[in-house]
Amino acid sequence: MRLSRDDPGLPLYHNENNRNQTLRRIRTRARFWFAQRSTGVKIGLLFLIGFLLFGLLKICSNAITTDVHQMAVPNQNQDPIIINEQIIGGKPENPKEDDERVNDDMAVEMDNRQSDAENSPAHKQAHRATGKSVKFNGPDNERQKAVVKAFQHAWLGYKKYAWGHDTLKPVSKSYSDWFDTGLTIVDGLDTALIMGLEEEAAEATEWIQNKLTFEKDRMVNFFECTIRVLGGMMSAFYLTGNEMFLEKSVDLGDRLLSAFKSPSPIPFSDVNLLKRTGTNPQWGSDSSLSEVTTVQLEYRAISRASGNSTYEDLSFNVSQHIHKIGCDHEGLCGMFINANTGTFKKGATITFGARSDSYYEYLFKQWIQTGKTIDWLKDDYGKAMAAMEKHLYRNSEPNKMFFIGELLSGETYSPKMDHLVCFIAGTLSQGSQNGFPRKHMDMAEKIGETCHNMYDNPTGLGPEIAHFNMIPGKEDLYVKPLDAHCLLRPEAIEGWFYLYRFTGNKKYQEWGWAAFQAIEKYARISTGGYSSISNVKKINVQYRDSMESFLLGETFKYLYLLLGDDQTVLPLDKWVFTTEGHPLPIYDH
């Protein structure tokens, strides 16, 4: 008789592999035993097994529900969470009366907030800055009209090939996304308003209202997203009074506040908009000085408009922290600061260019924005300008071009100046009109002229970086091949705008007009838009196929304002321009 493999009559299954023999024997004998039982016994056993399984599932379900409830409801017995001095959550003072207290407090808080907002200077300033009181009449001369046409040409190319995306690639008629927030639209909206371009402004407003969303699982740079997107929308709010811009700004501002969940008062450099988490940059734990100290104008504006001081408190705490720890070089700071420790990186370069520039700008502009009421901002700015003059301000040979160099590793002087540094001509000139020494205007005029000299090349466009000779017998200024590209930056034109406002010297208008003509000749793409170029020293230009959002947000805006006959538009005792060129109101406190 042949036995089957699972017959219990096979004591060891006659298998040469003895592994799992015990388990197989038990399983086979259980099947044999079950097969010998009557039908009634089988039904009873199946019912018992089903009942046991149901009970087990019920127990597991209750455990999961309890865990989910505990996660959804914060533990009120825990200590409050503190993020850079801001208290979030924590145990209520009287748990038994918590519900009643919360309801009462919310009602009182809403009433108080509404009353305070209506009576606050910030609220009144917001209404003074709406479209009801800020009227723009459009261009008043042929040069301004030309700039308006250039803006429209850039807008048309962007609308045709990149609408809703961050930036236009005009040569390939495509687009690129950095934050996926329609940077060009938001950054350029207030320029369209100032130029009186109702159609373009309406298109931008409609897109922001109906299409712009921040529910995106995307990492963005805290600083760049603040100055371009948040700053652009807050400027549009103050220029039009449209509450939609404020609502969008609050949504974005709440997400960006995740940057302040760092171990120190220094915010993280990057934020995930959807997850609302902050992190250090991929290349290390250091944040750029300019990035963490150039968001305060924007967050103060949103706090004053919304009535929520958290934005202003957290951002201004960064400035207070820098003021408290101080800078090693008599008010000049290194370019990197650690978000984990809140301390400066040792041996970092000291510069007024990339990674440091707007720290000094916002020391002064915060003082202006707050009605000149915070003395230490003024003092720190004055101290920094004195140290800049002592350690960085030099002149070339043989023609005495004045420039601001750098201290490499905080020690070795380098006669290198970024195009970005040209902003200081505007800041120094404005400072001279607000109590700082007359020599600040002299320095501003000399730096403004050097920035003009940077445009003295075959294309008439400004390079990204220039180097200066300090030894007689050579040319004053030279541009290295890797520094010769031009992104159509605004800083030189920005400086000339301020200088013209305060001096009335028409040479600054001529310099701006010449720069605009060079943009038209060498950067304009016939099918729409303008492109950065690879080398300002070559007339046969090579395009980089990129139109930065700041071309519309700053460069064309400052050109338009510089070239106008009416220099009372956006008076500088009522408005302060952010580092991205967005005008915000000045407060009295």
Q: Are strands 174-176 and 412-414 parallel, antiparallel or unpaired?
A: unpaired
Whose CA is closest to 174, among 569, 545, 554?
545
Which 3 state secondary structure label does DSSP give 423?
helix
Helices within 241-288 (DSSP H only):
243-256
Question: How many Å apart are CA 586 and CA 171, to the nearest integer?
Answer: 41
Contact present, 410 and 417 (Cβ < 8 Å): no
Catalytic residue among 180, 203, 224, 397: 224
Alpha helices, DSSP H, located in 417-537: 423-432, 439-454, 491-503, 507-522
- For residues 580 and 234, what is the distance between their CA atoms, to the nearest angstrom? 12
Q: Which amino acid is at 70?
A: Q
Q: Decide if 238 contacts 584 (C-beta within 8 A).
A: yes
In one-letter notation, the amino acid at residue 247 is E
Distance between CA atoms of 432 and 444, rounded to whole angstroms? 9
Compute how many other C-beta atoms are within 10 angstroms of the C-beta atom of residue 176.
15
Q: Which of 270, 312, 445, 464 is catalytic?
A: 464
Catalytic residue (choose from 491, 494, 554, 580): 491
Q: Partners of 108 in the beta sheet?
A: none
Is 464 tagged catalytic?
yes
Per the annotation, the verdict on 298 as an active-site residue is no
d(CA 179, CA 201): 22
Please give the structure tokens belonging to residue 78: 């825990």
H-only helix segments in 504-580: 507-522, 549-550, 556-562
Q: Is 224 a catalytic residue?
A: yes
Point out the catalytic residue in the list 286, 357, 548, 580.
Answer: 357
3-state helix, strand, coil in the chain (%, to 5): 50, 10, 40
Q: Is 66 annotated as a binding residue?
A: no
Binding-site residue numbers for Ca(2+) are 579
Binding-site residue numbers are 579
The residues carrying an active-site annotation are 224, 357, 464, 491
